[in-house]
Amino acid sequence: MAQTTATKKKPYLQTILFGALSLASYILLFVNEEWVTETYTMGGYYVVYPIVTAFWFSLIHGAFGSNLLSTLGLEAKMTKKK
């Protein structure tokens, strides 16, 4: 009998990669918190730094969270509209 649902591989490698990248980013940020505070509050063109940092953490942490949930087998349930 043929399998009706496609079996998906769990993203173990991506979870570990993005988890390590997320952890390293947080460590780097907090180890250099004095420089970050001084530089990010200078104004002018430096206003780009916190924006880029927010996008970076959003991307990396979001990818880690998504892959972690997929690894744990938690997927969004698709419902049909009536």
> What DSSP state is assigned to residue 53?
H
Q: Which of the four pLDDT bands, split at 50, 70 and 90, describes residue 81?
A: confident
CB count within 10 Å of CB 11 equals 17
Read off the pTM.
0.80
Which residue did the predictor score with more confidence, 63 or 1? 63
Q: Check pLDDT > 80 for residue 3.
A: no
Which residue did the predictor score with more confidence, 56 or 78? 56
Residue 65 burial class via C-beta count within 10 angstroms: exposed 0-12, middle 13-18, buried 19 and up:
middle
Q: What is the pLDDT of residues 32-73, one digit of tens each?
A: 999 999 999 999 999 999 999 999 999 999 999 999 999 999
